[in-house]
Structure 1
């Protein structure tokens, strides 16, 4: 069984005394729960939620959120909040009707029911002296404005989980390529996509449904981490252990968890990696330390040479 297909395995090291500090911007209720639910269940994190819609407070409180801020983060200006028929589609940006109408099962959800005027506050203004480890952000096309307003906070993050779009669902919305360049310029490395949304062209149904698609991705969640060759950044106590926990619990990226713990041992003289690899082996996950096996690659060359 591939590691990422395995059921959840508890992270073997206790972080209860030095928890991962999560900031969730756009923490509106979602039926499937938070993608970082495993960190919450493991008592490995404290969560600060930012959600301008106070109606979500009761749900957020029930989801073990430690602190809730009912503010809108952005460039500090006054903007129009477009409240859509599906509340989770509401955005500071106006829905792009032409784009939405091209795809099946889209435009209906983005119909604007009302427009509210709302004041935004910069990320670094709201959290002027906070120190977060992990940012989860989903603000329907407004993500880049939030990131731009948080230079101080962004540079301290170990990782960022962000919704990105491949089509302009909202007018003027930055796309994945724009977000990717912005984060790369700030020392973040792309790791993986997680959930994604597909649609077919309008007038086409898949499996009898207009909200199914085959290969056309419209949006996805992406995870980035601070580049691992930055010894000064990662030399700060426990950062690499926290990152390993995120890799393990949230993404099941056990190989990168091994690497993070190996770097931790190299920088601080700890022995996390050996213990972690032993734990993986006991759990039946075949991930371990080891140099490149040239005989495997030579075999691949021979096989490809026959094609």
Structure 2
């Protein structure tokens, strides 16, 4: 599959777009640009980012775009928690690493070693005024996903697309896994759209090519994409139909979902966004994207 940036932007194909407010929890992206970067290039998206590391927040605010805001808060249930700071910064979590799971894989015991702990206060998303009206939520919080979502019910009512790192093995003690997150989000009107990608690691003692990052058969984690239930499009407003279609196209190359949403929008409004979008896919996109 070609990357999403090989397709023309949604607005060029459909001739429509809506503004987006993005909540990014774990806003310090260690490598690469965020998945929502195509929305930012369109100029109609703003970010509300969260990072408990104040130095990281200062850096993010120093290079932010107009309208963006980065807050030095840990997001959770509004209570006080212990932050477990790991040797590999991207494994730091409100939960304690689970040695029984970490020992299964090469490298994980070293990366997950707790080098310090810190007592921190957390905030609930529903209590942070800046997050009101958000349409897109990205979570990369190493085990605290369900806690955050359960304390963001009001924000979930307005959001349309969720991009959440999930685990299939309990890398942290007491960690809710993908199945529990999916059940909760289903109760909030979301369905799983796709994984991007499914990540595996080689179980010890086997090692492939002396590469601790090699994958094989055991799925460990993934980024799961949830969208508002497209079997109940009657629950989505016209602007939400366009918004989800735009995210599906620009961020995930999900042309089938985008077209379905635009078709419903046109049925209500009498416009021809779906026809324009399909024409653009056939005549301006790489052949495999339009088929």
TM-score when scaled to structure 1? 0.86
Q: Which residue matches 1:251?
A: 252
Give 2:135's aligned residue.
133
Distance of 1:53 and 1:47 partners within structure 2 = 17
1:197-245 per-position Cα deviation (integer Å, ceiling 9, x unaligned): 32112232223212212121111001010112434431x2411111111
Range with bigger deviation, 63-72 or 143-152:
63-72
1:207 maps to what in 2? Answer: 209
Corresponding residue for residue 26 of structure 2:
26
Q: Which residues of 2 match residues 26-175 of structure 1 at below 5 A?
A: 26-61=26-61, 62=63, 64=65, 66-127=68-129, 130-175=132-177
CA RMSD of aligned residues (A): 2.2
DSSP 3-state at the match of 1:179: helix
Larger radius of gyration: 1
1:29 Cα deviation after fit = 2.3
Contact 1:244 1:257 in 2 (8 A): yes
The gaps in structure 1 that reach 5 residues or longer are: 290-307
Q: 1:259 to 1:287 in 2, by over 3 A?
A: farther
Return 5+ residue gaps in structure 2 as ranges: none
Return the offset for 1:10: 1.6
Distance in 2 of aligned mates of 1:100 and 1:90: 14
- Structure of greater relative contact order (alpha carbons < 8 Å, 6+ residues apart): 2
Corresponding residue of 1:7: 6
Distance in 2 separating the partners of 1:34 and 1:68: 15
The offset of 1:39, in angstroms, is 1.4
Give the Cα separation in 2 of the matches to 1:252 and 1:55.
Answer: 35
Number of the residue aligned with 1:293: none
Task: State which of 230, 233, 247 in structure 1 corresponds to 2:232.
Answer: 230
Provide Cα deviations, 1:272-307, integer angstroms capped at 9, x if missing partner: 101111111112446779xxxxxxxxxxxxxxxxxx
- Quote how far apart the aligned CAs of 1:54 are: 1.6
